[in-house]
Structure 1
Amino acid sequence: MPIDATQPYDDQNIFAKILRGEIPSRRVYEDEWAVAFHDIAPLAPVHILVIPRGAYVSWDDFSANASAEEIAGFVRAVGIVARDLGLVAPGYRLLANVGGHGGQEVPHLHVHMFGGQPLGAMLAR
């Protein structure tokens, strides 16, 4: 169910629980700024979620309220994961859904990283 990206942060969302270790995840990377793990319902051969450790509902919330260090650390983490997984040379896609029209389903900023095959058009036509 899409969410309202302007709502307050809900610390009971699934990604907050993953960050706290209450729900297991197959992590591929973590540092002080971000955690990256396999999506439980992958849509491509490689489907990783990258989330900031901070409590941000959406990209809008993050870009408006995160510190410069948090933003830089998160963006660098996305790049490190792509390089570590060998996705840079063949190519990959990043997707951050925001709000209802964007199809956001979890009220914690997350970036989907897709790769491992040609991904086709950016949006269905």
Structure 2
Amino acid sequence: MLTRGDILYLAQPVPDQAIEGTLLVTSSKRSDCAGNTQVKVSIADLQEMQNDFAANVDGGFDVIAGQQGTQGIPPAPGAVPQPSDAPLSKGSDAAALDAVITQQRQDAVQTESQVQQEALANSPS
């Protein structure tokens, strides 16, 4: 059984038409699924988990923002826009910009995959 606080890892992207995904339990409470157990979770439940997690993170940020400058939390710097030193190019080539963005996305996916692999390798069994 999975409960709040269990940590799951989605090793492979879920195909577009799938109704469930296979995840690996990387950390859980003693009464829940053992670590390194594969579980199938419906797409609807995965989406609900993601939404709940995002809401909790947002709520945590709201708490921290509300407590800044108190209880040992330093005040945030002012939200003053900073000018960029990067020159604006005239007539930028859209294809070149698309290529840069595509490369950055690929780099991000590769980095995320490496981090997940390292986390799995370093997780307690």
Query: TM-score normalised by the shorter chain: which range applies?
Result: under 0.3
TM-score, normalised to structure 2's length? 0.26
Task: Return the structure number with greater helix share.
Answer: 2
> Could you say which structure has the higher strand fraction?
1
**Higher CA-based Rg:** 2
The structure with higher relative contact order (CA 8 Å, sep 6+) is: 1
